Structure 1
Amino acid sequence: MMPHAKFLKDVIADLRIAVSFVTILPVGSSKPAGDGAVARATWALPVAGLLVGLLGAAVYAVATKLGLTPGPSALLALATTALITGALHEDGLADTADGLGGGRTRERKLEIMRDSRIGSYGVCALILSFALRWSALAAIASPWLVALALCAAHAAARAGLPAFMSLVPPARPDGLSASAGSPPGRSVAVAFALGTLCLALALGPGKALVAMILLSLAGLILARLVVRQIGGQTGDILGAFEQTSEILILLVAAAFQTGG
């Protein structure tokens, strides 16, 4: 097989893995997940996120065309993105809030995070997440600007996951994050570049810089918190990081938008 043909095949395979990893879309995967393929494919997570953002933006645009105001249109867009991802990241946020907030020991925190039931901390976290994202999208209002914000948020929020997985050790040896493996440096760099590009194109260089600073601070704070409390990261922690990043990007977009 020619080198360029093999490269294209690998890229397509990685894209399929990334999309199948963070969405419920039936794209399948041409590589087994047990040979480090998931870790290598993490560079494509921003691309998968971009797809989610585009679908959410399409629903928002259709809703406004049908005469709905920004409020319900934004709610439909959020419902669409949650449906497409199977609420994967929302579930991680809720489990993280319950575990870190409700457990006293490391073992108890991890046990709570594995429990499929949701507690008070998880409910509050989900309400805040949806409320902040909904209010940001409703404030932006314009379908075109909402589309840019959604694409930037979903792409860039997933662009930081490979770096987080690489720098923060797994909290347990048998979780989703541990089984995925540590992303190689090339995957981390490509994901970061794609996320930065999406932010710059959607929000402009200055606004993108503000968002990147906030995302970096959020990642550092979360990393320090989870290392101290449970010894590292889990799949739920990654979901919480994605949700936090998504919220911050949409708030930056809304703040600059409403500020003129």
Structure 2
Amino acid sequence: MSRQWRLFLLALGYFTRLPLPPIEHFEPAELNDAARYFPLVGVLVGLAGALVFCLSLQLLPLSVSIVLSMLATVWLTGVFHEDGLADTMDGLGGGWTREQALAIMKDSRIGSYGAIALLLALMLKFTSLSHIKIEILPFVMVAAHAVSRLAAVLVIARQEYVREEGKAKPLASKLSLTSLWVAIVLGLAPMLLLPVDQWPALLLVAVVWLWFSRKLSRRLGGYTGDCLGAMQQLTELAFYLGILMLAF
């Protein structure tokens, strides 16, 4: 249990800004095992957003409450995934070759493709959340953050890391079967918070995952840390859109 707690703290420290006690004798390779708890970190991020939403809704309009919930999740994660989305879109949009795309993604500056992708993603997230039934909205937030981080873990499990070095390099080893199944269970467990008739929203998540995974494979030959952030953002949006599609 102490090792599992250590791995969870590693995952929490990697993906959030929460102040945590220092991990003694840290080995970078441990981060690969900690990937099993990435969806659980998503659950906590989703819970934080849902809590801010519910509290804000007692005093503020729906639209403002949604923006505050988005702000809470962005602050909690340090814009980690949004930055990955912007960098990935810059690379895929501006690079003609694999080498060009990877070089652009490594540049800390944001380009036109990244800026537009980030702006549209935030607008689409806000609009989608605004149209989801308020009775299930907090639960949708939790499930979306968990499922989307599971989507990123599945990329790690299926593809190769394409950089010689980088923040995500310690994740690059293939996941063990145990880690993969733990991630799947933790990523899908929050779906139990939603009515069964909302579960088909996962189909759109699967479609987006397959499409973007194929694009990464064809354009880059694998993934980078930025690509994992982009996958998280795209599948989170896909989940919200799937929930909306079921309402019509």
Matched residue SS, 1:104: coil
1:64–1:21 Cα change, 3 Å: same
The amino acid that maps onto 2:184 is F
More helix by share: 1
| Partner residue in 2 for 1:212 | 202
Tell me which residue corresponds to 2:161.
170
| Equivalence for 1:3 | none
Structure 2 residue aligned with 1:5: none
> 1:45-80: CA deviations, max 9, x gaps?
1111111111111111121111x2211111111111
Whether the aligned pair in 2 keeps the contact of 1:39 and 1:184 (CA below 8 Å) is no
Q: How does the TM-score come out when normalised to structure 2?
A: 0.93
Choose from 58, 77, 96 the match for 2:88. Answer: 96
Check if 1:158 corresponds to 2:149: yes
Alpha-carbon displacement from aligned partner over 1:208-228 (angstroms, at most 9, x marks no partner): 2x2332222222221221121
Distance 1:32 1:230, change over 3 A: farther
Among 180, 198, 203, which residue is 1:188 paired with?
180
Contact in 1 for aligned 2:80/2:229 (Cα 8 Å): yes
Count of residues paired in the alignment: 247
| Secondary structure of residue in 1 paired with 2:27 | helix
CA-based RMSD:
1.7
CA distance in 1, matches of 2:140, 2:8: 22
Instruction: Determine what percentage of the aligned residue pairs are the same residue.
Output: 35
- The one-letter amino acid of 2:35's match is T
Change over 3 Å in CA distance of 1:112–1:63 after alignment to 2: same
- Partner Cα distance (1:59, 1:85) in 2: 15
Q: CA deviation at 1:33?
A: 5.1
Amino acid at match of 2:52: V
Task: Report the equivalent of 2:129.
Answer: 137
Supply the distance in 2 between the matched residues of 1:95 and 1:15 (Cα, whole angstroms): 27
Where structure 2 has 5 or more consecutive residues not aligned to the other structure, the ranges are none
**Contact in 2 for aligned 1:16/1:29 (Cα 8 Å):** no
Question: Which residue pairs with 2:117 in the alignment?
Answer: 125
TM-score, normalising length from structure 1?
A: 0.89
**Inter-CA distance 62–157: structure 2 relative to 1 (3 Å threshold):** same
Equivalences for residues 1-260 of structure 1 within 5 A: 8-28=1-21, 30=23, 34-66=27-59, 68-140=60-132, 142=134, 144-182=135-173, 183-199=175-191, 201-208=192-199, 210-256=200-246, 258-259=247-248
Contact 2:161–2:169 under 8 Å retained in 1: yes
In 2, distance between residues paired with 1:211 and 1:141? Answer: 14
User: How much does 1:128 deviate?
Assistant: 1.5
